[in-house]
Amino acid sequence: MRTAEVKRRFLAHFEANGHTVVPSAPLPAIDDPNLLFINAGMVQFVPFFLGQRTPPYQRAASVQKCIRTPDIDEVGKTSRHGTFFQMNGNFSFGDYFKSGAIPLAWELSTKPVSEGGFGLDPEKIWATVYLDDDEAIEIWKQTGLPAERIVRRGKKDNFWSMGIPGPAGPCSELYYDRGPAYGSEGGPEVDEDRYLEFWNLVFMQHEITDVKSKEEFTIVGDLPKQNIDTGMGLERIASILQGVDNLYEIDEVRPILAKAAEMTGREYGKRSGHAASESHPDDVRLRVIADHVRTALMLIGDGITPTNEGRGYVLRRIMRRAIRSIRLLGWQERALPILLPIARDCMSPSYPELASDFERISTYAYAEEDQFLSTLKSGTTILDLAITDTKSSGGRQLSGDKAFQLHDTYGFPIDLTLEIAQEQGLDVDHEGFRRLMADQRARAKADAAARKTGHADLSSYRSALDAGGPVEFTGYQEITRESR
């Protein structure tokens, strides 16, 4: 079943059950100062959950584009983490609660494919519930899940909150047992690779305060209205339904990976088994490339451009990581003009705007790659030399001086220096680097102050002004118009 079809079936199931289908919000979380990118389906509904706004519907369903940068180090190493992914979700705003949400999830998961469901074998489904949530356990049993496949878990895994005072509640997660080829038996507590988490049902019923961490807070009482917020990873359920080992092998990602393998002459899948932990390092890199190229496409598509701070910097780092990864596999040319159109073709059936806007998207992407390749060209030799020198003199740490010189003279970002040094088994004197950066900033500030108070000769400006009156400076408008 293609991913686009999985998405269609999800929305159709909830629409048939009285939900209004709501489009995905754009990736940048512009309404939330604490969040760079939307990371879950519920984010666009927060004002409804908090009671700040009245929802125009009591039930909604969506497929939300998400970015989770904290998962970046997992990409390629587990079977289930993308930096970009899509979250299917159904929501109830004070309408149905646990006894509605659990059967709705079970029905879609287990209904035969010929009847519009996902046709998962009920015997392979497990559920986790919060420690004392006997109510959820009861509903699961009535719905058809035997007690031996219902597991109680603590706050860390099964109590949801936004990490701030506000709504919170226990959750119940669905796992799919992929069988002994993927790891040890015993349930999700034992092996989260074999038992793949694919759906999280959150029962928003309490209000919490005194939040010190995910596990330390005080429950003040119950919310006036009980809400449901669920999140099902579209790529995860697609990987199960397509019978592939991980989400980098589904129809929306695999073609990018396959092309990168072909370009670098690497044979993908040289692993000893199906478990992600048995992956060959080349496979991990190929997955990183495929994931990051797709993420870059989706981010630029939603209006982000590579810059040195905030959201733009996240994009820049992701793009650079993809470009470095393919170079490490032996491809030295520009890679994005080959890979980005493939990502577009994978994603545009669900997001046609990626095709119509591709000229703009690709212009930014290719320019960023060109700039990065020239940075790499000038800095890499210097860095390699410094690494060799450090190693041959028995050192374990690259000096702050070197890192600063690379940054200052060659525009080599510090995180890149760190990453390359680490690959070579070296630390970087980060403290020393920071000191030099601070010195440089202080010098620049002092220079600027000196210029302000300095007695520059302004007489020629004075006479021009006296002769012709004030002149309107239009350079800024002209420049910005041209660069559009």
Query: Which C-beta is closer to Mg ion: that of 82 or that of 167?
Result: 82
Of 202, 168, 197, nearest in space to 74 by CA: 197
Which member of 10, 37, 85, 268 binds ligand ATP (CB under 6 A)?
Answer: 85
Can you give the binding site for Mg ion, defined by CB under 5 A?
Answer: 197, 200
Which member of 7, 9, 80, 344 binds ligand ATP (CB under 6 A)?
Answer: 80
- The minimum distance between CB 272 and ligand ATP, in angstroms, equals 23
What does residue 71 show for φ and ψ, rounded to 5 degrees?
A: -85, 0
- The minimum distance between CB 85 and ligand ATP, in angstroms, equals 3
Query: Which C-beta is closer to ligand ATP: that of 204 or that of 383?
Result: 204
Which of Mg ion, ligand ATP, none lies near 82, with the C-beta cut-off 5 to 8 A by kind?
ligand ATP
Contact call for residues 372 and 320 (beta carbons, < 8 A):
yes
Q: How far is CA 217 from the centre of its chain?
A: 27
Candidate segments 27-35, 230-238, 255-263, 425-433, binder of ligand ATP by CB under 6 A: 230-238
Q: Is 188 in the site for ligand ATP (CB under 6 A)?
A: no
The bridge status of strand 20-21 relative to strand 59-67 is: parallel
Which of ligand ATP, Mg ion, none lies near 233, with the C-beta cut-off 5 to 8 A by kind?
ligand ATP
Rg (CA), the chain: 26
Contact call for residues 73 and 321 (beta carbons, < 8 A):
no
Q: Is 199 in the site for ligand ATP (CB under 6 A)?
A: yes
Query: Which C-beta is closer to ligand ATP: that of 92 or that of 390?
Result: 92
Of 170, 159, 174, nearest in space to 127 by CA: 174
CA distance 293 to 300: 11
Query: Which C-beta is closer to ligand ATP: that of 161 or that of 325?
Result: 161
Which of Mg ion, ligand ATP, none lies near 140, with the C-beta cut-off 5 to 8 A by kind?
none
- The minimum distance between CB 82 and ligand ATP, in angstroms, equals 4
CA distance 375 to 306: 15
Using alpha carbons, list the distances in angstroms from residue 267 to 63, 251, 258, 298, 369: 34, 18, 9, 27, 25
Query: Which C-beta is closer to Mg ion: that of 200 or that of 390?
Result: 200
For 428, residues 6+ apart whose C-beta sits below 8 A from its C-beta are 397, 398, 400, 403, 414, 417, 418, 421
- The minimum distance between CB 419 and ligand ATP, in angstroms, equals 21
Q: Is 118 in the site for ligand ATP (CB under 6 A)?
A: no
Using alpha carbons, list the distances in angstroms from residue 50 to 56, 58, 92, 102, 216: 15, 14, 13, 23, 21
- The minimum distance between CB 145 and Mg ion, in angstroms, equals 18
Residue nearest to Mg ion (CB): 200
What does residue 27 show for φ and ψ, rounded to 5 degrees?
A: -60, -45
Residue nearest to ligand ATP (CB): 233
Q: Is 200 in the site for ligand ATP (CB under 6 A)?
A: yes
- The minimum distance between CB 89 and ligand ATP, in angstroms, equals 8
Query: Which C-beta is closer to ligand ATP: that of 192 or that of 419?
Result: 192
> Half-sphere exposure (CA, 13 Å, Cβ side) for 257?
22
- The minimum distance between CB 128 and Mg ion, in angstroms, equals 9
Q: Is 229 in the site for ligand ATP (CB under 6 A)?
A: no
Q: Is 236 in the site for ligand ATP (CB under 6 A)?
A: yes
Q: Is 81 in the site for ligand ATP (CB under 6 A)?
A: yes
Of 105, 193, 169, nearest in space to 143 by CA: 105
- The minimum distance between CB 235 and ligand ATP, in angstroms, equals 5
Q: Is 126 in the site for ligand ATP (CB under 6 A)?
A: no
Which member of 10, 37, 198, 433 binds ligand ATP (CB under 6 A)?
Answer: 198
Q: At 474, is the secondary structure helix, strand, or coil? A: coil
DSSP 178-204: --GGGS-SS-TTT-TTTEEEEEEEEEE
Q: Is 82 in the site for ligand ATP (CB under 6 A)?
A: yes
What does residue 199 show for φ and ψ, rounded to 5 degrees?
A: -150, 135
Which of ligand ATP, Mg ion, none lies near 133, with the C-beta cut-off 5 to 8 A by kind?
none
Which of ligand ATP, Mg ion, none lies near 85, with the C-beta cut-off 5 to 8 A by kind?
ligand ATP
Which member of 95, 193, 207, 235 binds ligand ATP (CB under 6 A)?
Answer: 235
Q: Is 93 in the site for ligand ATP (CB under 6 A)?
A: no
- Residue 173: in which H helix or E strand, if any? strand 166-177
Q: Is 197 in the site for ligand ATP (CB under 6 A)?
A: yes
Which member of 1, 21, 51, 71 binds ligand ATP (CB under 6 A)?
Answer: 71
Using alpha carbons, list the distances in angstroms from residue 462 to 230, 450, 453, 473: 68, 22, 18, 16
Six-digit token string for 196: 């793949």
- 166 in the Ramachandran plot: left (φ > 0), alpha (ψ -120 to 50) or beta? left
Which member of 28, 76, 169, 231 binds ligand ATP (CB under 6 A)?
Answer: 231
CA distance 56 to 20: 9
Q: Is 13 in the site for ligand ATP (CB under 6 A)?
A: no
Q: Kindly list the residues in this chain that would bind ligand ATP in the complex (CB under 6 A).
A: 68, 71, 80-82, 85, 87, 197-200, 231-233, 235-236
